[in-house]
Structure formats: structure tokens, C-alpha cells
Structure 1
Amino acid sequence: MNTIAFNQQLSDKLNKELNPELFSTPGKGEITVVANEKKDLREYRIITKDNKVVDVVDAYDADHDAAYQKMMDFLKNYR
């Protein structure tokens, strides 16, 4: 599976798992996950390579809540 297809598939699974707290959009080489609340400044970049998650970057260095932990637990299967 190529990177774009992998990211799309993983993004779709993340959206099923994390909505309504967080929403993800796929890109080439990364997936961006943002908070669904306009006032909430949370954004994470999931860096992928060779159909695996290699890093998760917190764009705003925000406090990590239950939604973040749920995302990280979900991503364990893709590392």
C-alpha cells in the first residue's frame, strides 16, 4: 500500500475512533489531527513512513487530555 492510501485508511479509522473530540485529515507523509472545538487549540501531526507511524508532534504543546490518550493508545497498533 502506498503512503497516501495508508494515511487515508488510518485517518478514516482515527475519525471513527476519535469523533467528536478530534478530527483527522490525511496528507502525504503525515496526518493532521485537530480539535473539533473552534476555541480549543489542539493540533497533532502524525508522521508516517513505510506504512507505520514514526512520530506524533504536538503543534501547540497543549495539555494532554483523555482524547489525546485515546489517540495514542489507538496508534500503538501502527508503530
Structure 2
Amino acid sequence: MDKIRYRLVYNRQNTLNRQGTTLVQVEAYLNQRKIYLKTNVYLKPECWSREGAQVINHPQSNELNAMLYEYILYLQGIELGYW
């Protein structure tokens, strides 16, 4: 069984909502298939670092980054449970 690869994706649809924010999603990739999982985190474009794939210039940036990475760890735990 192959390992699923996870990464954070910001503004996948290249659109902003009425508040000027867009969704952060987790991309799960396995055997040339991708699925996108919702994180319920909406950010403005200036609060996202494309190079580091993390939250910057936000009052709760540390907490949001921790929450996003904990979600990825949660998904990896589910995956390991199936092995």
C-alpha cells in the first residue's frame, strides 16, 4: 500500500468570496488521484505564504498553522489505522 501525500492548497479556484477571503484546503494525492478536503479556514491573500504554504501576517497565524498541521496529522492517523 502506498503512502498518501498531503499538502495545503490556498485559493484552488482562483476566486474570492464577498469578504475578500478564500478557502484553505488539504490536497490528498495517491496514485495520480487528487482529492481536496475542506479545512473551514478562510484567509485574505496577503495572509498566505505560497512559498512556505503557511499563514503569515495574521494575528492568530501561529494558532492557525498549528490547527492546519494538526488536521493533516489527524488524516495521517486515519490512514495509518487502515494499514
Q: Which has the higher strand share?
A: 2
Larger radius of gyration: 2
Under a length normalisation based on structure 1, what TM-score does the superposition of the two structures give? 0.29
Q: Which has the higher helix share?
A: 1
